[in-house]
Amino acid sequence: MATKSNPTPRRTRTPRPPRASVRERAAASLSPLGSQIRDLREARGLSLARLAEAVGKSIGYVSQIERGRSEVSISTLKAISDALDVQIGWFFQGYDPRVPAEHGHVVRRENRRRLNFPGTGIEEELLSPTLTGEAELILSTFAPGARSGDEQVSRMAEQSGFLIAGELELSLGARKFRLRTGDSFRIGRGESFSAANPGADTSVSLWVIAPPRY
């Protein structure tokens, strides 16, 4: 007597998530800094060509920055900030404390506002609760070999700092100072400077800027 064969069970397909649109994929690829520059530029009514001319860079390079595909040095971001009429501190990413009583007084570690410079190995963290006080506190991290840029910048503020870890080379005009863990420094108001990490370890420094002119 013939036996009935069991039918082969059908395979159930796991539904695929909907594909993101080209615009959504493009937006996701933007770095927070690049998208902020683009949004602010558009809000100011400036074309890419106008911004590129203002900062002395090519249109293609500025476009690459906005799309998060090119590194941004501190000196370049300073030039972009000047052209867009904001302080660099405007670009800090983060959110306010969830506890209302702490607002303006306390910054929890997980709530620090951060500013990354794509492709440079530099990250800045704002330790001050706001940017409206008499001074601001910045925690600066430089990866080995990282540098703030080929051009020196200046701030209309008094700057002092303390090297928590690693090494930091400060260039003040034609002078250079190689700092090691435990050293401290001062940069006068309007004095041109640049910074670099010449060591093999990560450099971490604490900066006090008064008044807030990052």
pLDDT (tens digit, 9 = 90+) per residue, 78-92? 999 999 988 888 888
- The tokens describing 22, both together, are 């080209």
Give SS3 for 33.
helix
Alpha helices in 67-213 (DSSP H): 74-84
Domains annotated for the chain, with CATH where assigned, are: 23-90 (1.10.260.40), 99-210 (2.60.120.10)
pTM: 0.72
Res. 159 pLDDT band, cuts 50 70 90: very high
d(CA 5, CA 8): 9
Ramachandran angles phi, psi of 6, nearest 5°: -75, 135
Mean pLDDT, residues 157-175: 97
d(CA 153, CA 172): 10
Give the DSSP letter of residue 145.
T
Evaluate if residue 23 carries a pLDDT over 70.
Answer: no
pLDDT value of residue 11 = 53
